[in-house]
């Protein structure tokens, strides 16, 4: 992974900690060419590790939530390693690195670059933020809060927004703590109460930054301020700035 890169959901630390939480051992398989490892994958049986299907089969459905995580498997750019394990939402970056990939019908929505957003959209987002701040809104970094506090805020706002509990709610504080060093983003407050939060994790690979948006929660009673879209704008802009500062 450190040599060829990957994504949040294939990062060795993420795989190890969440697999330990699930109590399902991980088997790593490697592809060698001329005595050199050109590709490696973490597996749970016939599936890639951290698979929702495997959790379900083991009676641990919804133990943790990685959303519909983008899977970038570590491999040399021209490895053409055969991939015989099941996995959803494989990144286009896996093409040429692995063979035998099948196109799936659903695709992930990727965050646009700042330049791809229209001037009007950017103006409107900044205006929404200004109106929110004028009404007493405050944007605070996730680093201001403990994992237990973030879990409580997220589970509460998710429940209020969607009307059902967040996936992995029971162990949410534990999972956030396990992945704490990867967590980025902000929480929006209004009148000293949290009104918008997103769970976003980030890892740095040699050639790119992988940022995974898991899900979010907002207070529906504050929709006049569009806190969810404001937070999406702030979090994505901040992630792009960080990546570009590293020339990635």
Give the pair of three-digit tokens for residue 142: 């996730």
Domain co-membership, 118 together with 95? no
Distant-in-sequence, close-in-space partners of 27: CB < 8 Å, separation ≥ 6: 42, 43, 44
What does each of the 248 residues of the chain score in pLDDT, given as a tens digit? 999 999 999 999 999 999 999 999 999 999 999 999 999 999 999 999 999 999 999 999 999 999 999 999 999 998 999 999 999 999 999 998 999 888 888 888 889 998 999 999 999 999 999 999 999 999 999 999 999 999 999 999 999 999 999 999 999 999 999 999 999 999 999 999 999 999 999 999 999 999 999 999 999 999 999 999 999 999 999 999 999 999 99
Domain co-membership, 166 together with 63? no
120-156: pLDDT as tens digits: 999 999 999 999 999 999 999 999 999 999 999 999 9
Domain co-membership, 129 together with 193? yes
Domain co-membership, 220 together with 175? yes
How many domains would you assign to the chain? 2
Domain co-membership, 81 together with 12? yes
- The beta strands (E) that lie in the chain are given as 27-33, 36-44, 47-48, 81-82, 98-99, 138-141, 183-184, 186-190, 193-204, 209-218
**Which of 75, 99, 123 marks a domain boundary?**
99
- Measured CA to CA, the distance from residue 102 to residue 100 in angstroms comes to 7
Print the domain residue range for 31: 8-99
Domain co-membership, 91 together with 196? no
Domain co-membership, 91 together with 165? no
Domain co-membership, 182 together with 155? yes
Whether 234 maps to a domain, the answer reads: yes
Q: How many Å separate Cα 41 from the centre of its chain?
A: 19
Domain co-membership, 34 together with 90? yes
Domain co-membership, 129 together with 91? no
């Amino acid at each position: 992974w450190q040599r060829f890169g990957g994504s949040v959901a294939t990062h060795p630390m993420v795989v190890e900690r969440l697999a330990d939480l699930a109590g399902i051992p991980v088997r790593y398989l490697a592809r060698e060419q001329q005595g050199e490892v050109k590709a490696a994958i973490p597996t749970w049986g016939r599936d890639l590790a951290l698979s929702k299907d495997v959790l379900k089969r083991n009676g641990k459905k919804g133990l943790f939530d990685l959303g519909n995580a983008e899977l970038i498997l570590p491999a040399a750019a021209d490895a053409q390693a055969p991939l015989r394990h099941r996995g959803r939402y494989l990144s286009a970056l896996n093409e040429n690195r692995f063979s035998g990939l099948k196109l799936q019908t659903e695709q992930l929505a990727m965050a646009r670059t700042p330049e791809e957003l229209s001037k009007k959209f950017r103006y409107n987002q900044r205006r929404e933020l200004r109106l929110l701040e004028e009404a007493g809104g405050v944007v605070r970094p996730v680093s201001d809060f403990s994992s237990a506090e973030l879990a409580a805020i997220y589970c509460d706002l998710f429940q209020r927004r969607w009307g059902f509990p967040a996936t992995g709610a029971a162990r949410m504080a534990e999972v956030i703590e396990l992945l704490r060093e990867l967590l980025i983003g902000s929480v929006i407050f209004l009148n000293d109460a949290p009104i918008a939060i997103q769970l976003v994790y980030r890892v740095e690979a040699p050639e790119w930054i992988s940022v995974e948006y898991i899900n979010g929660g907002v207070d529906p009673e504050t929709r006049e301020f569009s806190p969810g879209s404001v937070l999406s704008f702030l979090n994505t802009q901040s992630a792009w700035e960080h990546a570009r500062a590293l020339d990635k």
